[in-house]
Amino acid sequence: MLDKNGIAKRIAKEVKDGMYVNLGIGIPTLVANYIPEGINVVLQSENGLLGMGPFPFEGEEDADLINAGKQTITTLAGSSIFDSAMSFGMIRAQKVDLTILGAMEVSENGDIANWKIPGKMVKGMGGAMDLVASAQNIIVAMQHVNKAGESKLLPNCTLPLTGVHCVKKIVTELAVLAVLENGGFQLLERAPGVSVAEIQAATAGKLLIEGDIPEMQL
Amino acid sequence: MINKVVKDADTAIKDIQNGQTIMLGGFGLCGIPENCIQALLRKKVTDLTCISNNAGVDDFGIGLLLQQRQVKKMISSYVGENAEFERQLLSGELEVELIPQGTLATRCMAAGYGMPVIYTPAGVGTEVAIGKETRVFNRKEYLMEYAFDAEFAIVKAWKGDTAGNLIYKSTARNFNPVMAMAGKITIAEVEILVPAGELDPDQIHTPGIYVHRIFQGGNYEKRIEQRTVRIK
């Protein structure tokens, strides 16, 4: 079973040289720490920055320079800054190659819910609805089950949707799964030490298991 | 050159009336018009509809206007970690319209570009789409969203000149340029106000035509929400 950093590390392998990538708040932000040497990617932060750098050294924080998670960050050689309309313009125009975000639920046809639990919790959709509606490639980073132990991979989402038919891949502490075009989660990889039966038990939606399922290489 | 300078924040916002719609620039606490928010608190104008990506935090930014119950309705994309905002939303004390962040930005842009509507895929198939006209272009469905109509836009820039031209700094730019374009009356507060002619015309982010009032702000706290650092 993986911890949060393990999930981020596995997702980092999906990031290819030359990509422009948007990382959501939470586990996706950690992906930046595991992008391999020699892979050049540009991180987009939807508050208006391309080329997000690491956190500043202590004492060098700039209140005017933050990422979409409101964390203090730095720029890099080649960074650029722009306004919010242009930021979502480049997202809508599919200039951003890969979006990695968290979720509360994902359905077997690729619907995603991640912004609201009616009557209990409202975070707001932020930029997530724009990102999932336009991105060509969306990877969800999340825990396989919620705090109550219920599966977050469902036949249908029960929470208000963020987007429909958009998630392509999911990485959890247990597994890597692809969302099939015609519906269903195809099991691609198991986390180290996790059995197919454990993944099956934690997945409420339709799970497709073909042949031997390899263990993740981290 | 037309002079847009007003004395201070109180003068700049003096004719904002109860029940009006105002846009406020900023992302989180980054690039928010701190001086004008303080002036709105002093003026105690109420029943405002505020269009802003966030609503500050409990004790800073628009969060202070919420605490003083000056806001009737928020139009935002993210509640995030603002406990008072979430509490007023869930209890129904505050009317809240949550909309996708790109839709928020682009509805501002449309107003500033003189376009009545935009079409966006954001929110298709979700509760955001309820009651909205949709159209299919190239086999993809889009929602029709209206340009914002706001009496005032209040923005924060780094530098400005007496003609109202604005330059923003770093990611404090965010929603400020598109909101500056979208207000019927746009108020800009700047950290540094210079005479017309001192800014390079090639470097202007918001042309002065969009700015009706400008003043030199002061005492910027620039609070950081998430101070993240690495060790040397």
Domain boundaries defined on chain A: 4-174
CB atoms within 10 A of CB A86: 17
Segment (H or E) for B25:
none
Give the rounded percent of residues in chain B with a pLDDT score beyond 70.
100
- Each residue's pLDDT tens digit in chain A (218 positions)? 999 999 999 999 999 999 999 999 889 999 999 999 899 999 999 999 999 999 999 999 999 999 999 999 999 999 999 999 999 999 999 999 999 999 999 999 999 999 999 988 888 999 999 999 999 899 999 999 999 999 999 999 999 999 999 999 999 999 999 999 999 999 999 999 999 999 999 999 999 999 999 999 98
Q: B31: which chain A residues are within 8 Å (Cβ-Cβ)?
A: 64
pLDDT at residue B81 is higher than 80? no
pTM, whole model, 2 decimals?
Answer: 0.96
Q: Quick check: A66 and B224 CB within 8 A?
A: yes
Return d(Cα B128, Cα A113) in angstroms, integer. Answer: 13
Which string of DSSP letters, residue by residue, matches A20-35? EEEE-SSHHHHGGGGP
Would you say B41 and B13 are in contact if contact means Cβ atoms under 8 Å apart?
Answer: no
pLDDT at B82: 83
Q: Quick check: A88 and B102 CB within 8 A?
A: yes
pLDDT at residue B84 is higher than 90? no
Q: How far is B95 from chain A (nearest CA, A)?
A: 13
Mean pLDDT of B2-24: 98
Would you say B169 and B146 are in contact if contact means Cβ atoms under 8 Å apart?
Answer: no
Q: Is A125 on the interface with B (CB under 8 A)?
A: yes
Backbone angles phi, psi at B209, to 5 degrees: -60, -30
Q: How far is A60 from chain B (nearest CA, A)?
A: 8
Return d(Cα A145, Cα B144) in angstroms, integer. Answer: 36
Would you say A61 and A54 are in contact if contact means Cβ atoms under 8 Å apart?
Answer: no
Q: Quick check: A124 and B127 CB within 8 A?
A: no
Structure tokens at A67: 């990422």
Between residues 168 and 197 of chain A, which touch chain B (CB distance below 8 Å)? none
Backbone angles phi, psi at A5, to 5 degrees: -65, -35
pLDDT at B139: 96
Structure tokens at A190: 């198991």
pLDDT at A23: 95
Return d(Cα B37, Cα B2) in angstroms, integer. Answer: 26
pLDDT at B186: 98
Q: B127: which chain A residues are within 8 Å (Cβ-Cβ)?
A: 160-161
Q: How far is B91 from chain A (nearest CA, A)?
A: 9
Would you say B194 and B45 are in contact if contact means Cβ atoms under 8 Å apart?
Answer: no
With the C-alpha atoms ordered B92, B97, B99, B104, is the resulting torsion angle positive or negative? negative
Structure tokens at A150: 């219920």
pLDDT at A127: 97
Number of Cβ pairs closer than 8 Å across A and B? 187
pLDDT at B178: 98
pLDDT tens column, B90-145: 888 999 999 999 999 999 999 999 999 999 999 999 999 999 999 999 999 999 99
Nearest CA-CA partner of B169 in A161, A63, A214, A68: A63
Q: How far is A165 from chain B (nearest CA, A)?
A: 9
The verdict on whether A46 is a catalytic residue reads yes
pLDDT at A119: 86
Backbone angles phi, psi at A9, to 5 degrees: -65, -40
Would you say B75 and B48 are in contact if contact means Cβ atoms under 8 Å apart?
Answer: no
Give the CA dihedral A82, A83, A86, A91, nearest 10 degrees. 90
Residues 6 or more apart whose CB falls under 8 angstroms from that of B121 comprise A92, A133, A134, B140, B141, B142, B143
With the C-alpha atoms ordered A153, A157, A159, A161, is the resulting torsion angle positive or negative? positive
Q: Quick check: B30 and A87 CB within 8 A?
A: no
Q: B171: which chain A residues are within 8 Å (Cβ-Cβ)?
A: 45, 47-49, 64-67, 81
Q: Quick check: A72 and B176 CB within 8 A?
A: no
Q: Quick check: A164 and B126 CB within 8 A?
A: yes
Instruction: List the CATH code of the domain at A4-174.
Output: 3.40.1080.10
With b for 16 or more beta-carbon neighbours within 10 A and e for fewer, the A170-190 pattern comes to bbbbbbbbbbeeeebbbbbbb
pLDDT at B201: 98
- Whole-angstrom CA distances from A180 to A69, A110, A188, B77, B228 are 31, 8, 12, 30, 38
3-state secondary structure of A136: coil
pLDDT at A6: 97
Q: Quick check: A66 and B28 CB within 8 A?
A: yes
pLDDT at A122: 86
What average pLDDT is seen over chain B?
96
pLDDT tens column, B183-217: 999 999 999 999 999 999 999 999 999 999 999 99
